[in-house]
Amino acid sequence: MLSQNLISEATRLTLTGQLVEATALLQRMLRGESPEPSHARVSPARLEPPTIDVKASIVEEKESRRTTRVSPAPLQSFDRLKDFPGLNLRGPMTRAPPATTDIAPQGTRFIAGTFRSANGSRNYKLFVPSRSQEKPLPLVVMLHGCTQSPDEFAAGTRMNFLAEERNCFVVYPEQPSGANQAKCWNWFRTGDQHRDGGEPSLIAGITRQVMRDYPIDPKRVYVAGLSAGGALAAIMAATHADLYAAVGIHSGLACGAASDLPSAFVAMRQGGGSEIADGGPPVPTIVFHGDRDTTVHPNNGDRIVEQSIKAAGLKAKVSDGRVPHGHAYTRTNLTDPRGRAISEHWNVHGAGHAWSGGSPAGSYTDPRGPDATREMLRFFLEHSLPG
């Protein structure tokens, strides 16, 4: 547990630009170690300033030599820093771009666009299904994790392939390195947790731009994300319940889980709680989280579900299963008295910080888990906005 004095010291270091020292202090305290002497600290010259969130961990299971498929994290060459999630070390990532055939099926389009507003601009990639002119169609907004690109996220989740089957548009906003060195969405900053400002306004702007330019059903618009993207998806659901009919959060954190660097590390390591004002009916929420996630604590999945439940009289149904030759899982469904699904929580046993059931063509995926993409899209299409 972090003491208030340590949090104050970490905050002071952050405000004075000593981000590496602040990160080192917080991580040592979270591990229960005493503060490191100043002469033994990591040299800032070797590190980029830390950004909160993902460097996926490779998880081995005793019964199998197969591992979660992730791209080599830059941290692996610095053993003493292996517990520092989100530190962005210098040097290029070694991942090769995914092949075009792994991103979208033939006969469809995957096109680039840009949204601009007074709050800034963001590029995005848009998947257009082959039957896009039949009638107003659903739209899924997909928010990538740290260090990822829209192409990588599309290849890893295979959302475009499922969207072609179900006839949906999919848009992938892109976080540039200029906004965050590791291309993480800034979920932990209070300025990026409100409806009319920061990154939420940009994501909503992209969503509305696509809705304006293409035949989108305004009652069937959804948002999902991985890790930092999952945390931002939770924020979008909390701030734009009138825009999104359902939300999917994979290995993410609840809205309001953190408000600065120290609280972000606490939330990631221990689970972050928040007080959210009652703003009306909850946004239906589906959560995936690995119970061996060492980057974002599995408790955060529970916090997300708790935050999405605002009604009494919910009925819970718990079921267990296993992917053939893969991970076991526990699925908890909560429904209201009318039988309407309010939330689903998939606790994937033995899985780490990676997209469950994803493709090795992308990054931060675990092919041995239940298919999060298929289950999220199924859950989404069961819901629509009223009216």
Establish if 238 belongs to a structural domain. yes
Do both 353 and 265 map to the same domain? yes
Give the range with max mean pLDDT: 65-74, 78-87, 119-128, 281-290. 119-128
Alpha-carbon span 241 to 383, nearest angstrom: 13
Greater confidence (22 vs 132) lies with 132
Cα distance between the two ends of the chain: 47
Q: What is the total count of domains within the chain? A: 2
The residue among 10, 35, 50 that closes a domain is 50
Can you give the pLDDT at residue 32? 52
The pLDDT, as a whole number, for residue 94 is 59
Rounded mean pLDDT of 220-240? 97
Last residue of a domain, one of 13, 30, 50: 50
Averaged pLDDT, 40-69: 38
Q: Is residue 67 part of a domain?
A: no
Q: Are residues 118 and 16 in the same domain?
A: no
Query: Does residue 58 form part of some domain?
Result: no
149 and 36 inside one domain: no
Identify whether residues 211 and 118 lie together within a single domain: yes
Residue 260 predicted with pLDDT over 50: yes
44/110 same-domain check: no
Does 328 map to a domain? no
Whether 375 and 243 map to the same domain: the answer is yes
Among 2-6, 143-147, 256-260, 286-290, name the one with the lowest average pLDDT: 2-6
Copy the structure tokens of residue 233.
């998806």
Note the pLDDT of residue 3. Answer: 53
Looking at the fold, whether 26 and 169 belong to one and the same domain comes out as no
Co-location of 38 and 115 in the same domain:
no
Q: Return d(Cα 190, Cα 134) in angstroms, integer.
A: 41
Within a domain: residue 99? no
Query: Are 205 and 273 in the same domain?
Result: yes
Final residue belonging to a domain, choices 34, 50, 66: 50
Do the beta carbons of residue 330 and residue 305 sit within 8 Å? no
Q: pLDDT tens, 320-361?
A: 999 999 999 999 999 988 888 899 999 999 999 999 999 999
Tell me: do 191 and 290 sit in the same domain.
yes
The residue range of the domain holding 46 is 1-50
Q: Is 338 contained in some domain? A: no
From the candidates 57, 71, 149, 227, give the one annotated as an active-site residue.
227
Answer whether residue 315 is part of any domain.
no
Which pLDDT band holds residue 57 (cuts at 50, 70, 90)?
Answer: very low
Residue-by-residue DSSP string for 8-74: HHHHHHHHTT-HHHHHHHHHHHHTTPPPPPGGGSPPGGGBPPP-SS--PPP-B-TT-S-B-B-PPPG
Does 132 qualify as catalytic in the annotation?
Answer: no
pLDDT in tens, 72-113: 332 222 233 333 333 333 334 557 899 999 999 999 999 999
Look at residue 63 and tell me if it is in a domain.
Answer: no
Q: Is 5 exposed, middle or buried (0-12, 13-18, 19+ CB in 10 A)?
A: exposed
Do residue 133 and residue 229 come from a single domain?
A: yes
Burial of 31 (0-12, 13-18, 19+ CB in 10 A): exposed
Tokens representing residue 307 in the block: 């935050």
pLDDT > 80? residue 115: yes
For residues 296 and 168, state if they share a domain.
yes
Q: pLDDT at residue 198 above 90? A: yes
Q: CATH number of the domain at 117, please.
A: 3.40.50.1820
What whole-number percentage of the chain has pLDDT above 70?
A: 73
